[in-house]
Structure 1
């Protein structure tokens, strides 16, 4: 009886069960941490893209109406060059300028010969899209 009282601690089976339970719990936790870290990286990329798109759109809208008009008349805005921005190096942006009188919901372009005659009443529809999903549209009037 005296020998049984002095034995304290865990048996080998109890230790193995505890290790297996810990292993079963640690794997999902490690996966959750990995997913959380990758989600934060994706959120940073989307925030950078959004900032780039907003800055690009603000720069285009800061242009004068005659400058946007002439770019739209010339070649649909293809010759209009978006400003270089160090944060926009990984974002592919596409700008479309369309002259229209009835621009909602979809801009209906004016014919090239008619455009100059309706300069006072027409608007320039400015659309900026990125390769990753953001799209901004605005109308610029005289």
Structure 2
């Protein structure tokens, strides 16, 4: 029974196989961690871009709504604001903005879009439907009454 309990002095330490298994386990754990770190860094830069786009659209919508009603009415009645020049803003560098101003009328719970000819007869009841959007997803829409 005593011969099974004895330990030889030269058996102390790790074998090559044990070291390789430990390195393999560490590598298996490190690969997902590196991927998570890389994704975290890319998400933070994407978040900054989305915040800049949101700030740009908010500032642009405020500038458009600050215009006189008659200016917006003329832009909508001519060509749905295709000729309307969006205000320049330093926060909008690299943001592709699209503005559409249409004439509409609210009948009950539905919005009816008007042509420029039919809207001239209903200048007091017609409203401006202003839609501002960016290519990366944000959009603002509002209706303005006289």
> Structure 1 residues 36, 58: closer, same or farther in 2, change over 3 A?
same
Instruction: Count matched residues.
Output: 140
- In terms of fraction of residues, the more strand-rich structure is 2
- Residue in structure 2 matched with residue 45 of structure 1 by the alignment: 49
Unaligned runs of 5+ in 2: 1-6
Give me the TM-score of the superposition, normalised by structure 1. Answer: 0.85
Aligned pair partner of 2:72 in 62, 68, 82: 68
Indicate whether 1:28 and 2:32 are aligned: yes
Q: Which structure has the larger Rg over C-alpha atoms?
A: 2
Give me the TM-score of the superposition, normalised by structure 2. Answer: 0.82
* Aligned Cα root-mean-square deviation (Å): 2.3
Unaligned runs of 5+ in 1: none
Structure 1, residues 19-64: CA drift from partner, whole Å, max 9, x if none?
A: 1111111111111111111111221111111111111111111112
Q: What is the Cα deviation at residue 86 of structure 1? A: 2.2
